[in-house]
Structure 1
Amino acid sequence: METPVVPILEPATPPPVSLFEQFKLNRQLFNAVAALGFTEPTPVQRKAIPLLLAGHDLLGIAQTGTGKTAAFGLPLLMKTKYAQGTYPRAVVLAPTRELVIQLTDHLRALGQFTDLRFVALYGGLGPKQQSELLAGGIDVVISTPGRLWELYSAGKLVLKEVKTLILDEADRMLDMGFAPQIRRLLEVLPRKRQNALFSATMPERVVKLSEEFLEAPQRVEVSKQSTPAETVSQLLYRAPNKATKLAVLRDLMTADEAAWSRVLVFARAKPTVEAIAESLREAKIGPVRVLHGNKGQNARLSAMDDFRAGHVRVLVATDVAARGIDVTNVSHVVNFDVPAAYDDYVHRIGRTGRAGLEGASIIFATPAETWHIRNIEALIRQPLPVADLPAGITPSETPPEEAQQQAREIDHQKRLADPTFKGAFHEKVLPVHLQVDKRTGKLYDEEFVGRKRVRRSGTQRTTTKGNKPRKNG
């Protein structure tokens, strides 16, 4: 009798389960997470959310684009729960109006199934409009430090009910000079509160600030300090001057338009931003907008909205917007100039390769910028791969004024490395044979020919023999 064959049944595939369930969020927040399509927490969310839900103070080292808004936002909303009273119970501080607006949008999305009231406060809003925003009662305030202090000082904002304080991008806030306002706010906020500080980098000044108000903080670090995201490829193009940089950029963007679909270009100076935009428009690259400090608030927000919506292919910006742009599908970040602060390189290229997507970054460097490239490589702990210039590009001749400026910068860099270095552009030291006439203040050469000393000063030539000078014809 044959033994019957029992079929081996494959286990049924279980339905996908959101790993956010492990955080035991309330139903409103869990529904929002599901509606936003979140299924698996990012590393910073896995580490930070349980600690914040447990009531700990937190020191977080996380770059933009790692999901840190939800990492502090979900515990904040879980604690605040529902609309209550008139005065805010949670405060989030951010360095720029653009980031304040984006944080507000994200927190509103996370709290979409609650009745919590959010308000964004930043420069550019009139006093009447701000008073109206606050008059109806508020639960969560997202603000720049300066504007929050201004409203508190004017008696338009009461902070005595604040139970949660978040500092986002603390290093950037200190770079922008907000330390005095932050410290004044720390003095007036209730002592009994939960605090969290997030920063992309952890320089000494940020550590010092954290020690002033975090109590026994838990430290969360999701990547090495000042290291670019692994999803971002990096290339270095060496170019002799700005004209060659522009030529290479135009060539790269026209050679593969599909790949270069949404491009963010950073430059250090506002005139350079305008020059880049004009050059790209002339090359008919596509819609180009600029973003810098001379643009009004409405123009800046409009440029960012158009770029985010895909109406603009290229956005050219100064570093003022480096951390204020939240677009998940930026294909390329271009560092037209080496940033003034090396940390800004990481912040710049953090605009691409977000949400697990692949991104690309290129950086141009003239001979005068090579020294800065070495410092950036030391900061990010990796060399930047060097790419050859495109085949059709012939480096242009460097204009005399630009060449002279580069020479000065190189001299300055060499003097920083070696204080004894004397280059082409340094304070002249008089040779021994050059003397200063103490009576007239003029320079003259001293030459000894026999017993005669010849003195030259301009076109006048005098000689002395013994103590009797005579004037030559």
Structure 2
Amino acid sequence: MWSDKLKLNKQLVRSVTDAGYLTPKEIQAKSLSRIIGGQDMIGIGPEGCGKTTTYILGVLMRLKYGVEEAPRALILVPDKERVLAVTEQFELLNKNDTIRVVSLYAAPGIEAQMNALADGADIVVATPDRARAIYLKLGLNLNKIIIFIVDDADAIVKQGLQLPVNELANSITKCQHLVFTEVLHGKLEHMIDPFMNAPAIIEIDDLGEAKAEILDQVLYHVPNFRTKINLLNLLMQDEEVFTQTLVFVNTRLTAEKILNSFTHSLKKQAAILNPLFFESPGFENITDFKEQTDKRILIIANELQGFLDVSDVPFMIHLELPDEKETFIERIIKRQDEQETIAITFATDIELGTVKKIEHSIGHKIPVDELPENLVVANEEKETAKKKVTPKPDTEMRGEAFHEKKESNKKDYNFSAGTKAKMNKKKKHG
């Protein structure tokens, strides 16, 4: 029960039970005492695990009543839809009429939101850019903030909203910081490290039940798109292993760019499914590609509509993840009597959230393999162009791809043992 395990007050116990939450979820059982105690914390878990309810209960327990002239809790979320959803959840669980919640998001007439703040607010739920804009107009008083929360933090990073988050955090003298996310990666750590104070990390790894048998999977965690291209070129040089490969990107324009990025010898062995330009080598359907022997690489745009029969091709590489995770899942489900296929995914930091959603949907972890030792790792910023990419020593437990190479992996592409065995089998019998 809520009162026995988490010591919620009677009013909140009544609110959560009336809302249908009869017992705490795992993240609430592990986090609420830390939040109520004032500790900085990072909560990591899949969508639906209870992250939002966790911090809402924590905020309501800490605020208790509303008497201050300025907000005491600031909650940042990625977009208007999330602002409204979090505000609605506060209205569902907050039975204390003295605690006032104000929503801030991009909308015509910023003055109306500033007036709402002036009328009194205890909790502000906002997008980072709108909160910053109103703060700069002196409409958002941060002097009384005791809890600063960043929710869906990975989505905030994906949208490039790190600067307003940092500016708002730096404008608060002292408070508790809470960050909730589906995945913790380097870009997100870079955003939150300046303001987090020795945070506890609570991770919920609930994959759910496996819903179907899937193809063998390999995940490469790479720093940027340029490195993806370098990795693709490197892998495709092995003609004995990669006898036929489908390469998925998001648009036909990107497909053309990938084709043109290949070395001269590789370009002669590659084609595009329904190419954008007339002069580009291509096929009208996958069946024609499977039945011929001149081309061994087919680049396919995710934007193409309709069912694609990707069966019986030895390798499938997702250079870019499709917008809809269902598209990816459809491709990796194993069909009866299907030839063994290895599905390889390249993912940057901002794509790891999508990977997590896929893992949660299929009920399987996608194994992370080390990057090849001879891969050229491109750097996005000029000032770090000559620096070698090295990992943080404490990030290996989260599946970081850039950890020290094992001796046994020095002379290969660093696939896992099971994957290597399947590849060797393809060499002999393919």
TM-score range, shorter chain: 0.5 to 0.7
Matched letter for residue 198 of structure 1: F
Structure 1 residue aligned with 2:178: 196
| Alignment CA distance shift 1:361-1:56 (3 Å) | closer
Indicate yes or no: 2:386 matched with 1:377. no
Shift of 1:153: 0.6
| Alignment CA distance shift 1:172-1:26 (3 Å) | same
Indicate yes or no: 2:208 matched with 1:230. yes
Q: Aligned match of 2:168 in 185, 188, 195?
A: 185
Shift of 1:51: 1.0
Structure 2 residue aligned with 1:47: 30
2:366 is paired with a residue whose SS is: helix
Structure 2 residue aligned with 1:213: 195
The answer to whether the 8 Å contact 1:32/1:112 transfers is: yes
| Alignment CA distance shift 1:121-1:334 (3 Å) | farther
TM-score after normalising by structure 2: 0.54
Structure 2 residue aligned with 1:262: none
Shift of 1:31: 1.0
CA distance in 1: counterparts of 2:166 and 2:376, whole angstroms:
39
The answer to whether the 8 Å contact 2:2/2:8 transfers is: no
The answer to whether the 8 Å contact 1:64/1:347 transfers is: no
The Cα offsets for residues 106-154 of structure 1, whole Å up to 9 and x where unpaired, read as 2221213443211221123421332343232111111111111011011
Shift of 1:49: 0.4
| Alignment CA distance shift 1:230-1:143 (3 Å) | same
The answer to whether the 8 Å contact 2:207/2:363 transfers is: no
| Alignment CA distance shift 1:234-1:206 (3 Å) | farther
The answer to whether the 8 Å contact 1:173/1:179 transfers is: yes
The answer to whether the 8 Å contact 1:339/1:345 transfers is: no
1:150 is paired with a residue whose SS is: helix
Structure 2 residue aligned with 1:404: none
Matched letter for residue 215 of structure 1: N
CA distance in 1: counterparts of 2:246 and 2:118, whole angstroms:
56
Q: Aligned match of 2:352 in 343, 350, 371?
A: 343
Structure whose residues are more often strand by fraction: 1
TM-score after normalising by structure 1: 0.49
CA distance in 1: counterparts of 2:140 and 2:75, whole angstroms:
14
Say which structure, 1 or 2, has more relative contact order (CA 8 Å, 6+ apart). 2
CA distance in 2: counterparts of 1:82 and 1:51, whole angstroms:
20
Shift of 1:72: 1.5
The answer to whether the 8 Å contact 2:329/2:362 transfers is: no
Structure 1: segments with no counterpart, 5+ residues: 1-17, 246-267, 281-316, 323-331, 354-358, 363-375, 382-413, 420-473
Shift of 1:46: 0.7
The answer to whether the 8 Å contact 2:39/2:200 transfers is: yes
CA distance in 2: counterparts of 1:84 and 1:123, whole angstroms:
28
CA distance in 2: counterparts of 1:119 and 1:199, whole angstroms:
23
The answer to whether the 8 Å contact 1:170/1:198 transfers is: yes
The Cα offsets for residues 256-283 of structure 1, whole Å up to 9 and x where unpaired, read as xxxxxxxxxxxx98xx4xx85xx79xxx
1:47 is paired with a residue whose SS is: helix
Shift of 1:99: 1.8
Aligned-residue identity in percent: 24
The Cα offsets for residues 183-213 of structure 1, whole Å up to 9 and x where unpaired, read as 1112211x22111112221212323333311
Structure with higher Rg: it is 1
Indicate yes or no: 2:47 matched with 1:64. yes
CA distance in 1: counterparts of 2:89 and 2:147, whole angstroms:
17
2:16 is paired with a residue whose SS is: helix
CA distance in 1: counterparts of 2:157 and 2:170, whole angstroms:
17
CA distance in 1: counterparts of 2:376 and 2:146, whole angstroms:
52
| Alignment CA distance shift 1:349-1:113 (3 Å) | farther
The Cα offsets for residues 74-131 of structure 1, whole Å up to 9 and x where unpaired, read as 1111111122233211011112222222122122212134432112211234213323
CA distance in 1: counterparts of 2:111 and 2:93, whole angstroms:
28
The Cα offsets for residues 243-301 of structure 1, whole Å up to 9 and x where unpaired, read as 989xxxxxxxxxxxxxxxxxxxxxx98xx4xx85xx79xxxxxxxxxxxxxxxxxxxxx
Q: Aligned match of 2:118 in 124, 132, 135?
A: 135
| Alignment CA distance shift 1:339-1:34 (3 Å) | farther
RMSD: 3.8
The alignment of Structure 1 onto Structure 2 pairs a total of residues equal to 271
| Alignment CA distance shift 1:217-1:345 (3 Å) | closer
CA distance in 2: counterparts of 1:61 and 1:344, whole angstroms:
11
Matched letter for residue 378 of structure 1: P
CA distance in 2: counterparts of 1:30 and 1:159, whole angstroms:
30
The answer to whether the 8 Å contact 1:29/1:113 transfers is: no
Structure 1 residue aligned with 2:130: 147
1:39 is paired with a residue whose SS is: coil
The answer to whether the 8 Å contact 1:165/1:193 transfers is: yes
The answer to whether the 8 Å contact 2:104/2:125 transfers is: yes
